[in-house]
């Protein structure tokens, strides 16, 4: 049988369990599974806190197009004076997002 040398803090409870398993006193299959980490509650994001960026709006408009509302999206963009999202002024993005949510 090969010889294994282990160095470290042997006062650590985890290290003690590892050594016990290696010594054959506790088979690996009998080890108790660790408890799952508790999930922290997620904070709700309000409309005022939500950041409005072109990438998020692009994703929303893309979802609308895929759901069959291409004509409505095109009319929406035209109502903002453009044919492409990249042509819209940044200060108009929140209004565009609100209007796009109205199409859903």
69 compared with 23, residue with greater pLDDT: 69
Note the pLDDT of residue 48. 44
Yes or no: say if 22 and 4 are a contact pair by the CB < 8 Å rule: yes
Asked whether residue 37 is domain-assigned, the answer is no
The total number of structural domains that make up the chain? 1
Handedness of CA 60, 63, 65, 67 (dihedral sign): negative
Alpha-helix runs per DSSP H in 7-69: 13-22, 54-66
Asked whether residue 93 is domain-assigned, the answer is yes
Rounded Cα distance between 66 and 58, Å, is 12
DSSP 91: G
Whole-model pTM above 0.85?
no
Domain holding 73, by residue range, is 54-103
Q: Which pLDDT tens digit goes with each residue over 1-29?
A: 566 666 666 677 777 777 676 666 655 55
Yes or no: say if 76 and 100 are a contact pair by the CB < 8 Å rule: yes
Note the pLDDT of residue 70. 92
């Amino acid at each position: 049988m090969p010889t294994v040398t282990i160095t470290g803090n042997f006062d650590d409870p985890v290290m003690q369990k590892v050594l016990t398993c290696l010594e054959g006193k506790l088979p690996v299959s009998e080890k108790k599974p660790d408890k799952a980490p508790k999930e922290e509650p997620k904070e709700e994001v309000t409309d005022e806190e939500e950041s409005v960026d072109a990438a998020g709006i692009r994703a929303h408009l893309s979802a609308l197009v895929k759901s069959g509302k291409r004509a409505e999206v095109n009319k929406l963009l035209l109502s903002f004076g453009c044919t492409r999202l990249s042509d819209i002024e940044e200060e108009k993005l929140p209004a565009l997002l609100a209007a796009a949510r109205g199409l859903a």
